[in-house]
Amino acid sequence: MSKKTAFSIAAIGAILLLALVLNSVLDSYSKRVLNLCAIYAIIALSLNLVNGFTGMFSLGQAGFMAIGAYAVAIFTVPVELRAQGFYLEPMHPAIANIELPLIVALLLGGVLAGAFAFVIGFPVLRLRGDYLAIATLGFSEIIRIIFTNTQSITNGALGIKNVPSLSNMFFIYLAAIIVFVLMRLLLSSSFGRAFKAIREDEIVAEAMGINLFKHKIASFVISAFFAGIGGGLYGALLGTVDPKNFMFTLTYNFVLIIVLGGLGSMSGTVIASFIITIGMEWLRFFDDTLILFGTEIPIFRPGLRMVVFSILLMVIVLFFQKGLMGQKELSVDMVKGLVSRVKGLGKKRGDGK
Amino acid sequence: MAKVLKSNLAAAIMAIMLAIILIYIYSAAAIKMETAVFVQHMVNGLSLGSLFALVAIGYTMVYTILSMINFAHGDIFMMSIYFAFFAVSSFHMPWVLALFCVIATTPVIGALIERFAYRPLRDAPKNSVLISAIGASFLLENAATYLFGGRPKALPDIPVLTRVITIQSVNFQVVSIVIPIITFVLLAVLLNFINRTKTGIAMRAVAQDYEIARVMGVNINWIISLTFIIGSALAAVGGFMWGVRYPGITPTMGVMPGLKCFVAAVVGGIGDIKGAVVGGFILGLGEIMIVALFPGISGYRDAFAFVLLIVILLVKPTGILGSKAREKV
Amino acid sequence: MMLEAKSLTMRFGGVTAVDSLSLEVPQGEIIALIGPNGAGKTTVFNMITGAYAPTSGKVIFQGSDITAKNPSFIAKQGIGRTFQNIRLFKGLSVFENVITAKHLHLKSNLFQAIFRIKGLSSYPEEEKRMIDETNDLLEKLGLIDLKDAVSTSLPYGKQRRLEIARALATDPKLLLLDEPAAGMNPQETIELARFIERIRDEFKLSVLLIEHHMDLVMDISKTIYVMDFGLNIATGTPSEIQGNKKVIEAYLGSGD
């Protein structure tokens, strides 16, 4: 075992141990926010695989998430509780009595999302740039439209309630770590190099014997699979799944995360997921009325948070195009360098005294 | 070249007419739709199509000049409907005055977005521009939620436009006839402007190659701003009429029509103004007729545009009126 | 015969970029394609490598028809190429640029590459082999000291060499070089000539070369094809081409 591998395993163990401890110490609100961070990280990583590492521009993540979330919602609600939600039209008899454990439903959601991506990938991945963006966005909306209309399977616009809610930090962080490790292995393999080659220059990649279509569809399907898993966890965390949760504007959150973290950086994506998710919570004070010196400041009212959020997105795109990490990954050396630089600064200041 | 385009347009219009006749025969024979009902659907389809066309022109003009999708265009459209709402319901303007106010104010947003979200990225990678466009769209939606609230609003009734008239047992609102007329008048004006005036020619030059146009002394920034202004003004006309016809003004309402209108622009052939109009009509008629003919799938109405997009991109990626371009190796 | 192009024609709209060009590259030879700018030379490369589908004509590689096949398929058959305007994978290091070109011969599938369990997956051995071969190649081409440098930070000449290294990493039998000496001074050009001959022998290649430096072309090529306005106006050995009136006219203009 190399030093690097040993270090990684130790880090993973530490994170899981921390998750286990925090799970029993923290209040449910903090747990929920931290869980959301990990789930957002999974989905943002999946989006970065396509957009940051393979150089395509997909905006379909909300749709793939919906598939995963519905797989979990449909199959994990206890059979006896279903009739009460499906009051407009009873659940289709073929699925009404099937109840699956969460893990199986999650995997099913991932596989279904991947299968859907595979089918739409054939026409869609021949498109370039913004056409691909529009087409994937279109399909993400089509999924939502389908789910709104298949009353006997998804309960239509009413949504599915009573999804056994998931708040176990250990489980969610374990899932996030598995996704991270799998993606790391993929990207460090020859296939990952091929993806990056396609990102850098499609024509050259092809001339070097890399089959564009096969690799693009592989990247797209894997991304959808992980987004499906992430969506399933998201559905379980919310406890209620309805089509409005999966408007394509949801995808914009992940676009912001990968842009902030750096298109093409996995560790950047994870860091940005935490910053954005916690930041969004922290920004909630913008939505509350603020009273200073006895007068109410009129600009603080519901909605301001999202305005600030979208302005932040614009600022990052316009002025920090590389994001936090660019295409680099966080490494021990990088942290050491950073630490020594900070120390250097402190020393200089100390000398100045 | 102009000849080819003209014959293309003629072919497209003939194809649409042929399709309408076929749909008519089908609907009359298969589901015994009466002629009056059919004509009514056609009128609805044409007026929806005209609205799409007005917004689609903005997409196609921006795409021609900057080769980017102005994701925020649908939200500019949304803003114009809010402006119409405030002009009519808060300021009690008569509708003609309100329409002019909306046309005057909406382009400001278009121009500001161009100035602050797109201009700084003119030489940046395409993906950055795309993300910025998404950001601009998101910002407009959130700003609208913040400023106007999320609860749906509706434009007060404007009786002159919403009056129902009956001709030969076909019922329709005045506005359904007004919209296509306005659309065609504006299209004629726009085409004349682009083909005949100096500014219009400069616009086409910038679309060809803006570096060369710059060297030739064209004020690029002004031309690009103007493109956004014209596109937004047309969207504003569409937005006003939309508000008159359909209730339910919300901050995210611009998104779906926006996406559909982009599809219309692609279907007609991106970069071609007449194509955008043809695409708008195809989409509007298609949507209305699908709902009319197959009520069972009316819930999937919004999916029609995307299915059409995929089909057209696979069959003829350059659109119905588009010309062919190939990538350089 | 390594490569045969049979009356290749390429029309873009009304423009005929290449007009029924035929050429042959025998096993182990260096063949040159020359002509003024815009004569259609790069278009020929693009047709051979599948980047363009020719309007008519055939490309036969080692006896089998590869006309208009997918470029990645053609690369796998054993045709490697470089580009006129250097096109490296910009964000990647020298080493990554080269090892990426080894991907086409990978036998392991995606799952084996992710789940690298020794004994069950063939990937770890393959990865080790690819790394060794890449280091070996960089060693042979004198780029080993620069292996971790970002590709675009290299000096111009090294970038050209890296492009060749990347093409060689695909294990080609036929190497297409598009203006390898562009921007080089006479001394560097002479070195390049020896270098091309050396890799031809060392990697058992046949070479088809587009070039403007006449010294280089005359020095190393067995046969020269001259193109002008899409037409093949002359074919012959360097000495035959040197005295050819048509060729001189094409380069200097007809003079009237």
- DSSP of B307-328: HHHHHHHHH-TT-SSPPP----
Indicate if C190 and C249 belong to the same structural domain. Answer: yes
Q: What is the pLDDT of residue B26?
A: 73
Greatest Cα pair distance in chain A: 79
Placement of tokens 């902030």 in the chain: A260
Report how far residue C100's alpha carbon sits from residue C123's, in angstroms, rounded to the nearest whole number: 15
Q: What is the DSSP string of C100-156?
A: HTTGGG--S-HHHHHS--BTTBSHHHHHHHHHHHHHHHHHHTT-GGGTTSBGGGS-H
Inside any domain, residue A234: yes
- Give pLDDT < 70 ranges for chain A: 1, 290, 296-297, 345-353
Report how far residue C123's alpha carbon sits from residue A144's, in angstroms, rounded to the nearest whole number: 40
Indicate if C194 and C221 belong to the same structural domain. Answer: yes
| Chains within contact range of chain C (3+ C-beta pairs < 8 Å) | A, B
Does the distance separating the beta carbons of A317 and B135 come in below 8 Å?
A: yes
Q: What is the pLDDT of residue A353?
A: 41
Parent domain of A112? 10-282
Q: Please, what's the b/e burial string for C236-251 (b: 16 or more CB within 10 A of its CB; e: otherwise)?
A: eebeebeebeebeebe
How many residues belong to chain B? 329
Alpha helices in chain A, H assignment, sequence order: 3-25, 28-48, 61-76, 79-85, 93-96, 102-124, 129-149, 151-154, 169-188, 190-200, 202-207, 212-238, 249-261, 266-282, 304-319, 332-352
- Please state the rounded mean pLDDT for residues C136-158: 92
Q: What is the pLDDT of residue B236?
A: 96
Neighbours of A230 (CB within 10 A): 33
Indicate if C104 and C66 belong to the same structural domain. Answer: no
Instruction: Flag whether residue B259 sits within 8 Å of chain A, measured between CB atoms.
Output: yes
Sheet containing strand C206-210, strands side by side: C79-81, C174-178, C206-210, C30-34, C223-228, C231-236
- Percentage of chain B beyond pLDDT 90 is 39
Helices (H) and strands (E) in chain C — how many of each? 10, 10
Mutation target for C interface from B318, B327, B329: give the one with most C CBs within 10 A: B329
Q: What does the DSSP 8-state code read for residue A163?
A: P
User: Chain A neighbours among B 280-309 (CB < 8 Å)?
Assistant: 299-300, 302-303, 305-307, 309
Token pair for B288:
């209305």
- Collapse the DSSP code of B118 into the 3-class scheme (helix H, G, I; strand E, B; otherwise coil) and give the result: helix
Torsion of CA A51, A57, A60, A61, to 10 degrees: 20
**Angle, to 10 degrees, between the axis of helix B73-85 and the axis of helix B35-66?**
120
- Top mean pLDDT of B26-35, B144-153, C16-25 is at C16-25
Q: What is the ipTM of this complex?
A: 0.92
- Please state the rounded mean pLDDT for residues C71-87: 94
Residue B3 CA to chain centroid, in angstroms?
25
Indicate if C254 and C229 belong to the same structural domain. Answer: yes
- Please state the rounded mean pLDDT for residues C86-103: 94
Residue B273 near residue B204 (C-beta atoms within 8 A):
no
Residue B239 near residue B80 (C-beta atoms within 8 A):
yes
| Strand spans (E) along chain B | 164-167, 170-173
Q: What is the pLDDT of residue A123?
A: 84
The nearest CA of chain C is from the CA of B324 a distance in Å of: 9
Q: What is the pLDDT of residue C212?
A: 87
Residue B308 near residue B283 (C-beta atoms within 8 A):
yes
Task: Summarize pLDDT for C222-231 with one digit per residue, the tens.
Answer: 999 999 999 9
Looking at chain B, which residue has its C-alpha nearest residue C47? B329
Placement of tokens 């949760």 in the chain: A245
Q: Which residue has the higher pLDDT, B157 or A237?
A: A237
Q: How many domains does chain C have?
A: 2
Residue A75 near residue A97 (C-beta atoms within 8 A):
no
The nearest CA of chain A is from the CA of C78 a distance in Å of: 9
- B32 contacts: CB under 8 Å, gap ≥ 6: none
Token pair for A63:
């749709």
Q: Specify the CATH number for the domain of residue C256.
A: 3.40.50.300
The CATH architecture assigned to B2-23+43-151+161-315 reads Orthogonal Bundle (1.10)
Does the distance separating the beta carbons of A130 and B142 come in below 8 Å?
A: no
Instruction: Report which secondary-structure segment, H or E, holds B178.
Output: helix B174-196
pLDDT at position B41 over 50: yes
Inside any domain, residue C84: no
The nearest CA of chain B is from the CA of A138 a distance in Å of: 6
Q: For residue C86, how many C-alpha atoms fall within 13 Å in the half-sphere facing its CB?
A: 24
Q: Which residues of B touch A247 (CB under 8 A)?
A: 252
Range name among A227-236, A341-350, B157-166, C51-60 with the lowest pLDDT average: A341-350
Q: Partners of C231 in the beta sheet?
A: C228
The residue extents of the domains of chain B are: 2-23+43-151+161-315
Q: Which residues of C touch B324 (CB under 8 A)?
A: 13
Q: What is the pLDDT of residue A52?
A: 94
Report how far residue C3's alpha carbon sits from residue C16's, in angstroms, rounded to the nearest whole number: 23
Q: Which residue has the higher pLDDT, A287 or B105?
A: B105
- Please state the rounded mean pLDDT for residues C23-51: 93
**Confidence category of residue B323, pLDDT binned at 50, 70, 90:** low
Neighbours of C201 (CB within 10 A): 10
- Collapse the DSSP code of A305 into the 3-class scheme (helix H, G, I; strand E, B; otherwise coil) and give the result: helix
Does the distance separating the beta carbons of C126 and A189 come in below 8 Å?
A: no
Parent domain of C119? 91-165
Return the HEC string of A67-107: HHHHHHHHHHCCHHHHHHHCCCCCCCHHHHCCCCCHHHHHH
- A252 contacts: CB under 8 Å, gap ≥ 6: A313, B134, B138
Q: What is the pLDDT of residue B161?
A: 84
- Collapse the DSSP code of C175 into the 3-class scheme (helix H, G, I; strand E, B; otherwise coil) and give the result: strand
pLDDT at position B327 over 80: no
Rounded to the nearest integer, the mean pLDDT of chain B is: 86
Report how far residue C194's alpha carbon sits from residue C216's, in angstroms, rounded to the nearest whole number: 10
Does the distance separating the beta carbons of C123 and A210 come in below 8 Å?
A: no
Q: How many domains does chain A have?
A: 1
The nearest CA of chain A is from the CA of C243 a distance in Å of: 36
- C176 contacts: CB under 8 Å, gap ≥ 6: C45, C48, C49, C79, C80, C81, C82, C207, C208, C209, C210
Report how far residue C90's alpha carbon sits from residue A196's, in angstroms, rounded to the nearest whole number: 10
- Contacts of residues C131-136 at CB distance under 8 Å and 24 or more positions apart, as own/partner, are C131/C99, C133/C102, C133/C169, C134/C95, C134/C98, C134/C99, C134/C102, C134/C169, C135/C95
Residue C144 near residue C138 (C-beta atoms within 8 A):
yes
The nearest CA of chain A is from the CA of B289 a distance in Å of: 19
The nearest CA of chain B is from the CA of A85 a distance in Å of: 21
Looking at chain B, which residue has its C-alpha nearest residue C43? B329
**Confidence category of residue B5, pLDDT binned at 50, 70, 90:** low
β-pairing, C206-210 vs C174-178, is parallel
Q: Which residue has the higher pLDDT, C195 or A96?
A: C195
| Chains within contact range of chain B (3+ C-beta pairs < 8 Å) | A, C
Q: Which of B67, B53, B214 is nearest to B130 (CA)?
A: B67
Report how far residue A111's alpha carbon sits from residue A234's, in angstroms, rounded to the nearest whole number: 16
A255: left (phi over 0), alpha (psi -120 to 50) or beta: alpha
pLDDT at position C132 over 90: yes
Q: What is the pLDDT of residue A80?
A: 87
Q: What is the pLDDT of residue B143?
A: 93
User: Chain B neighbours among C 2-41 (CB < 8 Å)?
Assistant: 12-13
CA C83 vs CA A209, A211, B92, C41, C59: distances in Å: 15, 19, 66, 12, 20
Q: Which residues of A touch C89 (CB under 8 A)?
A: 196-197, 200-201, 204-205
- Collapse the DSSP code of B183 into the 3-class scheme (helix H, G, I; strand E, B; otherwise coil) and give the result: helix
Q: Specify the CATH number for the domain of residue A186.
A: 1.10.3470
Instruction: Report which secondary-structure segment, H or E, holds B179.
Output: helix B174-196
**Confidence category of residue B162, pLDDT binned at 50, 70, 90:** confident
Indicate if C178 and C56 belong to the same structural domain. Answer: yes
Q: For residue B12, how many C-alpha atoms fall within 13 Å in the half-sphere facing its CB?
A: 23
Q: What is the pLDDT of residue B102?
A: 95
**Confidence category of residue B128, pLDDT binned at 50, 70, 90:** confident
Q: Which residues of A touch B258 (CB under 8 A)?
A: none
Token pair for C153:
């930070």
Range name among A163-177, B145-159, B224-238, C127-141 with the lowest pLDDT average: B145-159
Instruction: Flag whether residue B164 sits within 8 Å of chain C, measured between CB atoms.
Output: no
Q: Partners of C9 in the beta sheet?
A: C56
Instruction: Flag whether residue C52 sits within 8 Å of chain B, measured between CB atoms.
Output: yes
Q: Which residues of C touch A185 (CB under 8 A)?
A: 113-116
Report how far residue B134's alpha carbon sits from residue A318's, in angstroms, rounded to the nearest whole number: 12
Cα angle, residue B154 at apex, residues B151 and B160 outer, rounded to 5°: 175
Does the distance separating the beta carbons of B326 and C46 come in below 8 Å?
A: no
